[in-house]
A and B are shown apart, each in its own frame.
Chain A
Amino acid sequence: MRRREASTKVMAASTAVKPMTVETAEEIAAEEFARIVASHRPQVFRFLLSSLRDVDLAETLTQECFLKAHRNWNQFRGESSAMTWLMRIAINLQKDHWRNRRMQFWRQTRTNAVDLDEASEWLPNGERSAEQQMLAREQVAQVWQAVKGLSERQRTVFLLRYVEERELSEIAESTGLSEGTVKAHLSRALGKVRTELRGTR
């Protein structure tokens, strides 16, 4: 919608002075897309990284996501937010990746996915005591363990909700599920996290 508004504003401004040429419109669209890449790239990358636990693969799929978005930029009608649209592309790419890996089970594919312990090592440098840091690390490891046990759909929904902090409607739009289904998946995912947290106590 913002895109539409911006383009209409630009069109209005430019028509007042001179008629907009195709080149000018393309330049504006390119600039707008560059802005979207700059603002949404970290989020798309973070979602893919948390889903795959593989930095290189996450980077590759992020690039592919924006490449695909750029190709279909003209088809983006602005009905949903650009972030929701990009997330949908990222989810589809991730699905394709897993499907391809399943199909190519005979191929020995090298994976750079880090194990859960390594993933749990990452913590922000806050003013915490060593004990607090250890506790936080333990909790992160437990959540990772629970996430590992989730189904693909539950994991996607869980990560979009609790890491990307997307609204339920946005998650529903990105995943192509109804809000009720999203809630159900979230509930099951949370239940598993709780069980994991309780289980280690």
Chain B
Amino acid sequence: MNWREDLAGESPEKDFELEQALQHFKASIDAWSNAALSRPRMMTKAPVRQNWRPAAIWALGCLLAAASLTGAAYKMLHRQEMTKQAAQRSTEKPAAAARSIAQPTNALPEKKAPAATVRKLSTGAQDNAGGQDENLLASVNKDVSQQIPAAMEPLAQLMDSNGAQ
């Protein structure tokens, strides 16, 4: 049953007015709907998902993590090295001290040995030296006494001649 038939029972004047109003209403909605359906659609380009952003964030994160890990590892190694060096130094110091203490006692006999030998030899050597010295002195005296400056030559000749006389 058509809706226009629904209104048949009403008074003719009112029927006409209502029918007309409903017809206009339907026509209005039809026009609006058709216009909305046939309107040009704006095809907006879907925003390109910026994949580089998460990638960059990931790369930066990885870089930071690697840097921090490397830094931590370097620091640890450095500390280990330092402790090793400190330990080495601490072990070296007493050794050096001990060596420095031990060195004179060891070196003394070595040093003393020549002294002892000198002492031991001194008696014999002194005797030899004394004889040598005497010889040396005699030769020096002889040389010195025989080396007469030219200015004293007449006097020396005179003395020689006096001595000979």
Contacts and interface: CB of A to CB of B under 8 A. Distances in A.
Interface of B: 1-3, 6-7, 14, 17-18, 20-22, 24-37
Given A46-B29, A122-B31, A163-B25, A55 B36 contact: yes
Interface residues of A, number: 31
A165 B36 contact: no
A66 interface: no
Contacts of B7: 190
Given A186-B6, A193-B18, A197-B18, A162 B33 contact: no
Interface of A: 42, 45-46, 49-50, 55, 58-59, 119-120, 122-125, 136, 139-140, 142-144, 161-163, 165, 167-168, 186, 190, 193-194, 197
8 contacts: A49-B33, A119-B28, A120-B28, A123-B24, A124-B27, A139-B20, A162-B22, A190-B18
- Chain B facing A: main interface SS: helix
- List the 6 closest A-B pairs by CB distance, nearest first: A122-B32, A46-B33, A139-B21, A143-B25, A136-B24, A140-B28
A144 B32 CA distance: 14
Nearest to B26: A163
Contacts of B21: 139-140, 142-143, 193, 197
